[in-house]
Amino acid sequence: MTQTSASPTGAAISTTKNRLRLDGWTIGAFVTAGLIALPILAVLVMALVPSDDIWAHLASTVLPHYIWTTLVLMFGVGAGTLVVGTGTAWLVTMCAFPGRRIFEWALVLPLAVPAYVIAYVYTDVLEFAGPVQGLLRDMFGWHNRQDYWFPEIRSLGGAITMMTLVLYPYVYLLARAAFLEQSVCVLDVSRTLGKTPWQCFRLVALPLARPAVVAGVSLVMMETLNDFGTVNYFAVATFTAGIYDVWLNMNSISGAAQLASVMLMFVIALIALERTARKNKRYHHTGTKYSTLPTLRLSGPKQVLASVLCTAPILLGFVVPAWVLGRYSLQFYDITLQSNFIDYVLNSIGLATFSAILAVILGLFLAYAIRLQGSASLRMVARFASIGYAVPGAVLAIGVILPLTRFENSVDALSRDWLGIPLGLFISGTVGALVIGYIVRFLALSYGAVEASLAKVTPSMDGASRTLGHGPGRTLFKVHLPMMRTSILTAAILVFVDVMKELPMTMMLRPFNFETLATYVHQYASDELLEECALGALSIVIAGILPVIILSRAIARSRPGQK
Amino acid sequence: MLKKILIGALAIIGLTTAFIWSPKANDNVVNLYSYRQPFLINPLLEAFTGETGIDVNVVYVKKGMLERLKAEGDNSPADMVLTADVGRLNDMLEADILQPVSSSEIDANIPAQYRHPDGMWFGLTVRGRIIFASKERTDTGEVLSYADLAKPSLRGRICTRSGKHIYNVSLIASVIAHNGEDNAQTWLSGVRDNLARKPQGNDRAQAKAIFEGECDYAIANTYYMGKMETNEKKPEQKQWADAVRVIFPDQTSNGTHVNVSGAAVTKSAKNADNAARLIAFLSGDRAQKIYAEQNFEYPVKSGIALHPVVASWGTFKADSIDLAEVAKYRATASRLVDITAYDLGPQNGS
C-alpha cells in the first residue's frame, strides 16, 4: 500500500514509508493481535475436519432459508439502527429542543437491555394472551384470532424490531462521538455556502462521520449475525441457529465450524467492500477550530417532532421493558433474593469493568501501533483479530478452549517433567479464561471505536508533536488521548455493557460455582420463566445504566475545546 | 474524570478478584459439570452435602460441555457430569471420557433398563413425552398414539415446540428406531401438515395455546403439566393445565417415549469415589423423593411415591427401547426435521 492510497487511518508517520519496521510497537501489536486471533483461527482449523455430507443435506433443505432470513435480519436491523442511531445522534448534538439534555444520555439506555430479554418482554405484552391484544378484544368485541389481524411478534419482522430497539445505541454512540469531534469549520463553510441544515447533515456531517457510523452499523450487524437467544425464541431460522443445530443435534462440531467460517468470510467480504468503497478518502479534520458547536433553533412543531422522535426509541427500547420487568420483580423478587444475588451482581460488574479497561487498552494499542507503522499486514492481522464479534459465542468459546487447554496441558507436562510440579489447568476454569474470552469477542468494539476516532486526528498533529521531540508513547498520551476521550469512553461503555449481557461464552468458560447476572437469568429464561428472572434481568439493565449515565455526561463535556 | 473512573474500576476489580479467587477450605469435594439448571439441582446437592460433608462444586455448562471435557483432558477438574438426557451421556461415552462405576448400592437403586450395562452412565429420573389434548374440543380415543398425530382429521389442530428441540429430536429418533427412517419421515410430514402454527415456545406454551383455543393437541413432557397444575404464583397456568387432558401414547404398542436425565463419572476424575457417592445419593430414597416432589419427574428407583398430581394421571407403560440406541438416530432425526421443513409450520398443498 502506498501512502497516497492510505486508508482512513491517514498517512503513516513513519519516514520509511512501506518497509515494516520492527520496533517495540510493531512486534507488540503483532503478538497481541496474533494471540487474540488464535481462537478465530482455531474455529477455522476445526472446519478443516470433513463433516460427512452435512453441506449437501443443508443445501438441499434449509440452507437457502437460513441465508435468506439471515440477510433480511442483518440488513433490516442494520438499516433500522442506521436511521434511528444517526438520526437521534444528530438531533441531540446539533438541535435545540426540549429535553435534549436528557435525551443525550437516555438514548443510550436501551443498550443495557439484552436482546433476548426484550424479546421475552414484548412477546409477553403483544402475544394473543397479552394485555395489548386483550384490551383490543375488549374494546372491539372480538373473540378469537380469526376476528382481527395483529402483527405476529414471533416473526422475522418482530426480531428485526426487537434488535433494532436495543442495538441502535451502538450507532448512536459512535455517531454522536463523531459529530462531537467534528470541527465547526466545515459546518460553517457549508452554511456559508448556503446549504440548509438538512443538506449540512447529509452532505457534510454524515459523510465525515462515515467511519464511525460504519463502525457502529457493522457492530450491530455482527451482533445480529451471532444472536441466538432472540431468533431461537422467535422461531426464526438463521444461519447461527443452523450452526447450533449442526453442532448439537447432528453432532458435528466440524460442520458447525464450517458454517461459522462461511459466515466469517461473508463478514470479512462485507467489511472489505466498505473499506474499498471509501478508499482514498480521509476523515480527519484539518481545521483546529473546536468552538462550541452551533445549535439549530427549531420551530415549535419541529421541536415537538424532535422530542417525539427521540422519546420513541427510549420508550420502546427501555421504559417498556424496564417497567414490565419491574412489575414482575415486585411480585417475584423473593426467588432471586434467596440466592447469592449480590455475588452475581459483583461478579458481573467486576468482569465487565476489568474486561472493558483491558479491551480499550488493547484496542488503543493496536490502533495506534497501526497508525505509527501503517503496515498493511499488521492492519490485516488486527482486523482479523477483531472479527471474533461475528462468531456465535458458543463456537468462539470452543475456539478459546482448544488453544488454551493445549497450551496449559503442554506447560503442565513440561513442568511435571522438569520440575516435578503439576500445574494442571491454571487458566481454564478460572476468571482468567472468561476475560480472555471477552477480549476475543469484544475487541471489535473497542478497536472499532478507537480506530474510527484516531482516523479523525490529523497526522500533522503527530508530526508536530514528534517534531517537538515527543516519542510515540508521549504523543499518544499528550496529543491523541485528550482528543479521543469521547470515543474511548464510548468504547469502554460498549464493552462493559456487552460483557454484562454476554451469555454463551460465560456459560462455557466460567469456573465452578460462578454465576453472573446473565447466567443467573438464563437458567430461568431458557425455560421461558420470565417472571422468575425479572429481577436479575432488571439488574443487568440497572447495572448497565449507571456507567452509561456517568459516561454520557463525560461525553457531553468532552468536546475538544470545550471548557 | 478518566482517572477517577480508572481508580474506581481498579478498586472494584481488586475486590471482586479477591472474592472470586478466595480458596475453598474443604478438600472433600466433588466437581460437577451440569446440563441441568442450578435451581433444579441445588436442593439435591445441598441435601447431599448436609448428609456427607462433601462439598459439591457445580458449573452449569450445557453447550460445549463435551468439547470442554475433551480439550481439558486428564487435567479436567470435572469429576462427574449431570445431563438432561441419555444421548449426551452416550456422546461422552463414545468420546472416551467416562469411567465405569461399580456399586451394588447404585445398581440396587437403578433398574438395569436405566443404566449402562458396564456402569458407564446412570439414569436418575424419567420423564414421559406425552400428548396434551383439549378437554373441551377433543374426544377420548381420537388420539391414542404418536402415529395418530399424523391423521388427516387433525389438520390445523396440533401445536408443538421446535422440531429441533432435543426433546422432539429424541422423540423422532425413537420413531426412526422403531419404524425406520422412511416411515418416520412420512409420519413427521403428516404431523407438520396438522400443525396449527409455526412451531414455537416451550412445552408450557403449547398448553397455553390449547387453553386459548389455538390448537387441540400438543406434545409435551410430563413435568411441565405438574408445574403448571401447582403454580400458585402464576394461577393462570393452572387454567392452562385445567384445559388439558393427559394422554400417554402408544400404550397398546411400544409404550410412551421417555427421556432420562442421568449422570456419569469422568475418566479424569480426581474425586471418583465422592462422585460415586453422589450418584448413589441421587438414586437413593431421599433424592428420588425430591426429584418426584419438586420437579414432578418419575423416580427411577421403585417404591418412591409420585407427586399426587403426577400420580393422578395414572400409571403408564414406558417405551423400553435401549435409549443409547435411540440416541444414535438423533442426527438423522434432526435431518428429517429439515427435510420435512417441519419448523416452517403448516404448508398448504405439500
Structural domains in chain B, CATH included, are: 27-126+259-305 (3.40.190.10), 128-257+315-344 (3.40.190.10)
DSSP sequence for A523-558: HHHTTT-TTTTHHHHHHHHHHHHHHHHHHHHHHHT-
Partners of B133 in beta bridges: B217, B245
Q: Look at residue A183 in the predicted model and tell me its pLDDT.
A: 65
**How much of chain A exceeds pLDDT 90, in percent?**
28
CA B94 – CA B89 distance, rounded (Å) = 9
Domain A16-43+53-290+333-556 sits in CATH at 1.10.3720.10
Contact between A394 and B60 using a beta-carbon 8 Å cutoff? no
In chain B, what residues touch A354 (CB-CB under 8 Å)?
Answer: 9, 13, 16-17
Is the CB of residue A343 less than 8 Å away from at least one CB of chain B?
yes
In chain A, what residues touch B13 (CB-CB under 8 Å)?
Answer: 350, 353-354, 357
Alpha helices, DSSP H, located in B63-132: 65-72, 86-94, 104-109
Is the CB of residue A512 less than 8 Å away from at least one CB of chain B?
yes
Taking the CA atoms of residue B192, residue B195, residue B201 and residue B207 in that order, the dihedral angle to the nearest 10 degrees is -130
CA distance A511 to chain B (A): 7
pLDDT, tens digit (0-9, with 9 covering 90-100), for A341-354: 888 999 999 999 99
Q: Look at residue A304 in the predicted model and tell me its pLDDT.
A: 87
Q: Can you say whether residue A174 is alpha, beta or left, with left for phi > 0 and alpha for psi between -120 and 50 degrees?
A: alpha
> Domain-by-domain residue ranges, chain A?
16-43+53-290+333-556
Cell 463525560 belongs to residue: A554
- Closest residue of chain A to B228, computed from CA coordinates: A529
Is the CB of residue A105 less than 8 Å away from at least one CB of chain B?
no
Q: Look at residue A9 in the predicted model and tell me its pLDDT.
A: 42
Partners of B56 in beta bridges: B30
How many cross-chain Cβ pairs, A to B, lie less than 8 Å apart? 167
- Exposure string for A182-221, b = 16+ CB within 10 A, e = fewer: bbbebbeebbeeebebeebbeebbbebbbbbbbbbbbbbb
Contact between B58 and A343 using a beta-carbon 8 Å cutoff? no
Give how far Cα A540 sits from Cα of A432, A519, A522, B296, Å: 22, 11, 12, 31
Q: Look at residue A287 in the predicted model and tell me its pLDDT.
A: 55
What are the cell numbers at B268? 479424569
Residue that wins the pLDDT comparison between A33 and A285: A33
pLDDT, tens digit (0-9, with 9 covering 90-100), for A436-467: 999 999 998 888 888 878 877 777 777 887 88
**How much of chain A exceeds pLDDT 70, in percent?**
90
Partners of B132 in beta bridges: B218, B246
Give how far Cα B156 sits from Cα of A153, A333, A457, B150, B153, Å: 20, 40, 63, 11, 9
What are the cell numbers at A531? 417472571
CA distance A259 to chain B (A): 16
Name the average pLDDT for chain A: 83
User: What is the ipTM metric for this complex?
Assistant: 0.84
Is the CB of residue A394 less than 8 Å away from at least one CB of chain B?
yes
pLDDT, tens digit (0-9, with 9 covering 90-100), for A355-413: 999 999 999 999 888 888 777 888 888 888 888 888 888 899 999 999 999 999 999 99
Contact between B335 and A57 using a beta-carbon 8 Å cutoff? yes
pLDDT, tens digit (0-9, with 9 covering 90-100), for B62-81: 889 999 999 999 999 999 99
- Secondary structure class of B221 (helix, strand, coil): strand
Contact between B72 and A428 using a beta-carbon 8 Å cutoff? yes
pLDDT, tens digit (0-9, with 9 covering 90-100), for A311-322: 999 999 999 999
| Weakest mean pLDDT among A272-281, A447-456, B5-14 | B5-14
Contact between B343 and A235 using a beta-carbon 8 Å cutoff? yes
Q: pTM, whole model, 2 decimals? A: 0.86
CA A504 – CA A228 distance, rounded (Å) = 9
CA B77 – CA B270 distance, rounded (Å) = 7
| Weakest mean pLDDT among A89-93, A137-141, A305-309, B220-224 | A137-141
Counting Cα atoms < 13 Å in the Cβ hemisphere of A23 gives 14
CA A386 – CA A381 distance, rounded (Å) = 9
